[in-house]
Structure 1
Amino acid sequence: MGLHTLRHSAASTMLAAGVPLKVVSDILGHSSVAITGDIYGHVSPEVSASAMDQLSAALG
């Protein structure tokens, strides 16, 4: 496994665990949050479902 794969896995895992994008961006050393979001901001089906569950609970 290469360094790029490990870096991508670490970023994706942190984001899926709810670590704020800004924190992940800082850890990776990106110059802006936009770069981190563009590269690692894909959303898994599980994260999407969880977000919708949270919205549903908040709305009642």
Structure 2
Amino acid sequence: MSNSLSRELTAHMNYLNDNRIVFNEVYEHELDLVFCREDGKPLPKSTLFNALNRILNKAGLDKMPIHGLRHTHAVLLLESGATMKFVQERLGHKNITITFDVYSHISEKLENSSVDGYEDYMNSLMS
């Protein structure tokens, strides 16, 4: 988890703790949800779907299922140089083969980077 995300989640948890105190007996303490209504009750599915669609629309991106965010995150990790093993653990895949089968071919940038890296390495050996 990035430091900025950690700070945001800490601030959000402080907000939730304040709500627990304010709503006291009405708050749904036993659910212990991270993303919920002010009284601790679950958000309707439509809230999440609508929020994602608004964000995508504002960014000028096509609609995608929420699970698409998981795939996008994995590809961005790989493109940034994360290892396949790191992505496997991050996504919670039991076997690295699953991660490799899904993500090894997904980014042209990864393929180009691998070829460029190999060429750079070979050139350094010849120098």
Write the distance in 2 (CA, Å) between the matches of 1:38 and 1:13: 16
Of the two, which has the highest radius of gyration? 2
Amino acid aligned to 1:20: T
Q: Would you identify which runs of 4 or more consecutive aligned residues in structure 1 move more than 3 Å?
A: none
Write the distance in 2 (CA, Å) between the matches of 1:42 and 1:19: 15
Write the distance in 1 (CA, Å) between the matches of 2:95 and 2:71: 17
Q: Kindly indicate whether residue 70 of structure 2 is the aligned counterpart of residue 7 of structure 1.
A: yes
CA RMSD, 1 decimal: 1.5
Q: Name the counterpart of 1:36.
A: 99
Unaligned 5+ runs, structure 2: 1-63
Give the total of aligned pairs: 60
Looking at secondary structure, tell me which structure has more helix per residue: 1
Q: Name the counterpart of 1:17.
A: 80
Match for residue 26 of structure 1 among 82, 86, 89: 89
Matched residues, percent identical? 35
- Deviation (angstroms), 1:43: 4.4
Is the 8 Å Cα contact of residues 74 and 87 (structure 2) preserved in structure 1? yes
Higher relative contact order (CA 8 A, sep 6+): 1
Q: Kindly indicate whether residue 75 of structure 2 is the aligned counterpart of residue 48 of structure 1.
A: no
Normalising by the residue count of structure 2, what TM-score does the alignment of the two structures yield?
0.43
User: 16-25 or 35-44: which moved more?
Assistant: 35-44
